[in-house]
């Protein structure tokens, strides 16, 4: 295996291949940073150009684009509150506040380093364990997906605004929006009001761009003309000590991201939300999340890039795409005469390991480009908001249109922008709605599919091991603030007894659970 990987690196060291990876990473970063332009779209645009190329540079370029775009999404998320890719939505929570505090360089640097670590880790896993891990993907039937999506949805109670009830309500509305359009199980359209555009449902990306990016433009309108965010130093990268301080978060998110990436129906978006939530749950000071803490950037960014390597696991080892972009890459593999599946690693060992080597190089490359470029990217904050904001909005409009060449998506985006601005006054935030929308379809389909497959037996969710484990984790997660308070209080009581002091109950943490 190591020999093959070494051969792979030798193949990759040819100038043409290095160039392909570089173009992929650079193109990916640019596409990723633009709201509306996504990695699957970039890959699809590239495929015709890769016809005439040999397989190794062709596939490496697409895979590099995927890695680059997943990282690139964080740049615009941090700088202008416009998540460039869906997977970067969670990065806005802490990345944007930190940049607004004048520490854009630190936020960008942290995102870049986390992306690199997550991505690199996932490629190691991909190289070492792909065939073994692919078996997990097969173990995941409809009930497991239902349990997983419920686990994901349970996060809405803790991300978003302070009011738990409003977060839950927002999440439920998100799930409902996912119901609009053709029902996959029965084949009939719902809530389309006779509009053809709505028959395919409300896509997630326009809603996300609206709620995050367009709403932020209106918030800037509220502030009015402002010269610059920060005219002093905005470019300092995170120090080594700061990176070390988030190492547990990075490790956790790498594992989460890789695992979620391996599952065919889930991708970087869900991974990044879970990464953020777990970073918050295990943090020493969860109440600071949302104000610009480094863990809040490391958590989601590391997880979404870890999902890139993860999603290549089923793509290569099973021939089943692990994400939207992986589906396009799968198509490209077939165009080049490869048949991804269990024999892929034997029949096409040279190409496969060369592509893996290319992924390693791509991760290193965006680390270099990202860290080196963060100084340049941060300059965007020197542009006055009255110049920048309208440009962001036209990019949102054109980018959303480009998704499907559909003006209806643009209207959805603009309406969501207005709603996103207005709802803040009522104490609602975008995160739970977006999460509900991401998971809504999976929840519905996996639930109803389970009922078909297991003949309407509702207990199926409690009899399959993975499903039970995930549901248990959900309950544990929902109760964790309470459990934690209990432990803290007990600890405080013990200490109080020992010292004979009066009890100072640490009740700060119970705000999460109770409102």
Partner 1 sequence: MGNKDLPMAVTMMIIFIVLFGLSFTFQSSGVLVTHTTAAFFPRVVLAVAMFLNLILIIQTLLKGPDGGAKKGIEPEAAKRVALSMVCTIAFGFGTAYLGTLVSMALFIVGIMLVWGNRNFKVIFLNALIAPIIVYLIFNKVLLVQLPAGILL
Partner 2 sequence: MKNIKWSMLALAACGLLWQSATTVQAEEFPSKQINWYIHSSAGGGTDIFTRTVSAELREKLGVPIVVSSMSGGSGARMLNYMMEQPADGYTIVSLTNSNLATMARRNTEAQREDLVGIARGCYDPQALMIAPSVAKYKNIDEIIAAAKANPGKVKVGITHVASVDHVAAYLFSKAAGLQLEYVPFSGGGEIVVALLGGVIDAGVLNPSEVMGQVEAGNLTAAVLFVQERLKDFPDAPTAKELGYDVEMNTWRGIAVKKGTPEPIVKKIRDAVAEIMQGEKYQKYLADNSMGPESVMSGEQWDAFMDAEWPLWKEIMTELGYRK
Applying CB under 8 A, the residues found at the interface with partner 1 are 37, 45, 165-166, 168-169, 172-173, 175-176, 179, 183, 185-188, 190-191, 214, 217-218, 221-225, 386-387, 389-391, 393-395, 397-398, 401-402, 405, 407, 410-411, 414, 417-418, 421, 425-427, 440, 444, 447-448, 451-452, 455-456
DSSP summary character for residue 439: H
Q: Which of 30, 449, 473, 477 binds partner 2 (CB under 8 A)?
A: 449
* DSSP track, 39-79: HHHHHHHHHHHHTTS-HHHHHHHHHHHHHHHHHHHHHHHHH
User: In the 8-state DSSP scheme, what is residue 427?
Assistant: T
Q: Is 477 in the site for partner 2 (CB under 8 A)?
A: no
Window 392 to 411, contacts with partner 2 (CB under 8 A): 404-406
> Which of 196, 405 has the CB closer to partner 1?
405
Question: Measured from the CB of residue 266, what is the shortest distance to partner 2 in angstroms?
Answer: 12
Rank residues 200 and 488 by Cβ distance to partner 2 and give the closer one: 200
Cβ neighbours of residue 354 closer than 8 Å, sequence gap 6 or more: 7, 8, 11, 12, 17, 56, 60
Residue nearer to partner 2 on the CB measure, 293 or 318: 318
Residue 335 contact among partner 1, partner 2, none, beta carbon within 5 to 8 Å by kind: partner 2
In DSSP terms, 182 is beta-bridged to 189
Number of neighbouring beta carbons within 10 Å of residue 457: 12
Among 15, 187, 224, 500, binds partner 2 (CB under 8 A): 187
| Residue with the two structure tokens 């949805």 | 153
Query: Which residues on adjacent β-strands are paired with residue 190?
Result: 181
* 31 touches partner 2 by CB under 8 A: no
Distance CA 460, CA 454 (A): 7
Q: Most distant CA pair in the chain: distance in Å?
A: 79
Q: Which is nearer to partner 2, 165 or 452 (CB)?
A: 452
Residue 309 touches partner 2, criterion: CB under 8 A: no
d(CA 500, CA 335): 75
With b for 16 or more beta-carbon neighbours within 10 A and e for fewer, the 190-229 pattern comes to eebeeeebbeebbbbbbbbbbbbbbbbbbebeeeeeeeeb
Output phi, psi for 187, to 5 deg.
80, 10
- Residue 479 CB neighbours (<10 A): 12
Site string for partner 2, 68-107 (x = CB under 8 A): ----------------------------------------
Least Cβ distance, residue 325 to partner 1 (angstroms): 17
Q: Which is nearer to partner 1, 228 or 452 (CB)?
A: 452
State the minimum distance, in angstroms, from the CB of residue 130 to partner 2.
13
SS3 189: strand
What Rg, from alpha-carbon coordinates, does the chain have? 23
Least distance from partner 2 to the Cβ atom of residue 319, Å: 4
Residues within window 33-52 making contact with partner 2, judged by CB under 8 A:
40-41, 43-45, 47-48, 51
Asked if 243 touches partner 2 (CB under 8 A), the answer is no
Instruction: Dump the DSSP string for 116-136.
Output: HHHHHHHHHHHHHHHHHHHHH
Residue 402 or 468 with smaller CB distance to partner 1 = 402
Query: Could you give the 3-state DSSP secondary structure of residue 265?
Result: coil
Q: List all residues 6 or more positions away from 509 whose beta carbon is below 8 Å from its beta carbon.
A: 286, 287, 481, 484, 485, 488
In the region spanning residues 199 to 228, those forming contacts with partner 2, defined by CB under 8 A, are 199-200
Angle between helices 349-378 and 294-317 (to 10 degrees): 160
Nearer to partner 1, 130 or 156 (CB): 156
In the complex with partner 2, which residue's Cβ is closer, 141 or 427? 141
Q: Of the ranges 1-9, 350-358, 447-455, 474-482, which one interacts with partner 2 (CB under 8 A)?
A: 447-455
CA angle 412, 417, 418 (to 5 degrees): 105
Query: Which residue lies nearer to partner 2 by CB, 144 or 512?
Result: 144
**Binding residues for partner 2, per CB under 8 A?**
40-41, 43-45, 47-48, 51, 137-142, 182, 184-187, 196-197, 199-200, 264-265, 314, 318-321, 327-328, 331, 334-337, 339-344, 347, 404-406, 445, 449, 452-453
């Amino acid at each position: 295996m190591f020999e093959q990987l070494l051969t792979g690196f030798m193949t990759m060291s040819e100038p043409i291949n290095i160039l392909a990876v570089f173009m992929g990473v650079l193109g990916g970063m640019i596409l990723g940073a633009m709201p509306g332009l996504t990695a699957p779209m970039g890959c699809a645009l590239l495929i015709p150009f890769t016809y005439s190329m040999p397989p190794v540079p062709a596939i490496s370029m697409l895979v590099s684009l995927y890695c680059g775009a997943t990282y690139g999404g964080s740049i615009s998320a941090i700088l202008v509150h416009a998540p460039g890719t869906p997977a970067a939505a969670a990065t806005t929570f802490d990345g944007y506040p930190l940049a607004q505090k004048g520490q854009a360089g630190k936020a960008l640097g942290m995102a870049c380093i986390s992306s690199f670590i997550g991505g690199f880790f996932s490629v190691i896993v991909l190289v070492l364990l792909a065939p073994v891990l692919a078996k997990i993907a097969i173990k995941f039937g409809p009930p497991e997906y239902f349990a997983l999506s419920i686990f994901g949805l349970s996060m809405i109670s803790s991300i978003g605004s302070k009011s738990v009830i409003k977060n839950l309500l927002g999440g439920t509305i998100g799930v409902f929006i996912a119901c609009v359009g053709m029902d996959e199980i029965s084949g009939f359209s719902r809530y389309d009001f006779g509009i053809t555009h709505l028959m395919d449902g409300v896509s997630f990306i326009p809603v996300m761009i609206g709620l995050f990016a367009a709403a932020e433009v209106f918030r800037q309108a509220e502030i009015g003309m402002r010269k610059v965010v920060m005219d002093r130093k905005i470019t300092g990268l995170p120090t080594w000590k700061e990176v070390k301080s988030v190492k547990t978060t990075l490790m956790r998110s790498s594992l989460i991201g890789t695992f979620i990436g391996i599952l065919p129906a889930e991708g970087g978006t869900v991974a990044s939300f879970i990464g953020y939530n777990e970073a918050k749950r295990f943090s020493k000071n969860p109440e600071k999340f949302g104000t610009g803490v480094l863990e809040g950037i490391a958590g989601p960014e590391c997880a979404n890039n870890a999902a890139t390597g993860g999603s290549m696991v089923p793509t290569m080892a099973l021939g089943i795409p692990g994400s939207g972009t992986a589906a396009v890459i799968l198509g490209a593999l077939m165009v080049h005469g490869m048949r991804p599946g269990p024999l892929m690693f034997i029949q096409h060992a040279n190409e496969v390991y060369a592509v893996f080597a290319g992924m390693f190089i791509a991760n290193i490359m965006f680390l270099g480009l990202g860290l080196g470029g963060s100084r340049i990217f941060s300059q965007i904050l020197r542009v006055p908001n009255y110049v920048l904001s309208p440009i962001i909005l036209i990019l949102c409009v054109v980018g959303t249109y480009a998704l499907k060449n559909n003006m209806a998506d643009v209207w959805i985006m603009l309406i969501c922008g207005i709603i996103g601005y207005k709802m803040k006054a009522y104490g609602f935030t975008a995160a739970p709605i977006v999460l509900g929308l991401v998971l809504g379809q999976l929840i519905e389909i996996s639930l109803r599919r389970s009922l078909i497959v297991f003949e309407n037996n509702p207990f199926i969710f409690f009899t399959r091991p993975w499903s039970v484990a995930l549901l248990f984790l959900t309950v544990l997660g929902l109760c964790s603030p309470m459990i934690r308070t209990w432990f803290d209080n007990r600890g405080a009581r013990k200490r109080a007894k020992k010292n004979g002091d009066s009890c100072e109950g640490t009740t700060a943490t119970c705000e999460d659970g109770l409102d």
